[in-house]
Amino acid sequence: MEYQNTINKEFRLTGLGLHTGRTVTVTVKPAPDNFGIAFRRTDRTNIVTQPAFANKVGETSRGTTLGSGRHTIATIEHLMSALHGMKVDNVLVELDGGEVPILDGSARPWLLQLARVGIRQQQSERKVFTLNEPLHFEFEPTGSVFDAEPCDHFAVDCVIDFPKSVIGHQQAEMNDLSEYAASIAPCRTFVFLHEIEPLLHLNLIKGGSLDNALVFVNKELTSKQLKRLAKTFNKDVSNFKVHDGVLNTTDPYFPNEPARHKLLDFVGDIRLVGLPINAKFKIYKPGHKANNAFARYLMEYIANNK
């Protein structure tokens, strides 16, 4: 029998929101048995606790946003991924702003804090749904496909496909959550260079930098483009380099880091089903919108197959 887990003591992390560029402090607190994972903003006069469920997600553009209206909490996926990866069932997450900080663009900073404070076993049995038949789900708007097969633990095989780009077709696997910390958690978010300026015009990625994202370049940059990019990120143009199609001050940790990051996001988004799932997931072209649609489908399936 597995038992539920929380953390030994609370911890805090402060950083910039990827899209707002605002400084936000997140406090992750232990929670009692059967509490689940929930978020709340402390900068609001009427504090609302938002349970971390897929059907409570209001927006999935460039991230997963919980809630709606004045109480939205954006970019929760990396923290959710770390909690899932460390088998944490019960915590309360408090923020003094509307977006979880991007930090280094991965789940690793959250993982390190969870490891530092430690995980505490609780008294109640862990609620896990074990799939006993194959499932198939397609999300037509993005061409995403999700298959799930019976398995006695959680595993993911992820394929991404960016034709006519330097990323191309990539695959990443996680055969068990024991592989998460070393192989998945450190993998950073990524973006194509041609996407950056439109996102800035949409008032997004104000907190983005070359320190928290891999920037992929599909064609050779002119000196004019380099200067404009340097101005965007407030850096000296001499700091930029392009190596194997990546513009950054650091190199990728893995040749397939984008696929691993997409897997990282899926680990976080699928935890919004509300409980861990024992199944082998084979996912093709995942993304936050498709992940959320699949998680909602799974919530309904689990409710009908308890």
Domain ranges of the chain: 3-127, 190-247
Residue 224 has what pLDDT? 77
Mean pLDDT by runs of 10 across the 306 residues of the chain is: 96 86 94 98 90 96 89 95 98 96 95 98 97 98 97 98 89 98 96 70 58 75 73 70 70 92 98 98 98 98 92
The reported pLDDT for the residue numbered 248 is 62
Model pLDDT, residue 202: 59
pLDDT confidence of residue 58: 94
3-state class (DSSP) for residue 182: helix
Give residue 120's pLDDT.
98
pLDDT tens sequence across 21-62 = 789 999 999 999 999 999 999 998 888 899 999 999 999 988
Q: What is the pLDDT of residue 250?
A: 66
The residues that are catalytic are: 288
Per CATH, which fold does 3-127 belong to?
Ribosomal Protein S5; domain 2 (3.30.230)
State the first-to-last Cα distance of the chain, in angstroms, to the nearest integer.
18
Buried b (16+ CB within 10 A) or exposed e, 201-223: eeebbebbbbebbbbbbeeeeee
pLDDT the model gives residue 75: 95
pLDDT of residue 228: 72
Helix, strand or coil, per DSSP, at residue 264: helix
Q: Does pTM top 0.85 for this prediction?
A: yes
Which of these, 111, 178, 146, 131, lies nearest to 277 by C-alpha position?
A: 131
Contact 205, 127 (CB under 8 A): no
Residue 101's pLDDT is what? 94
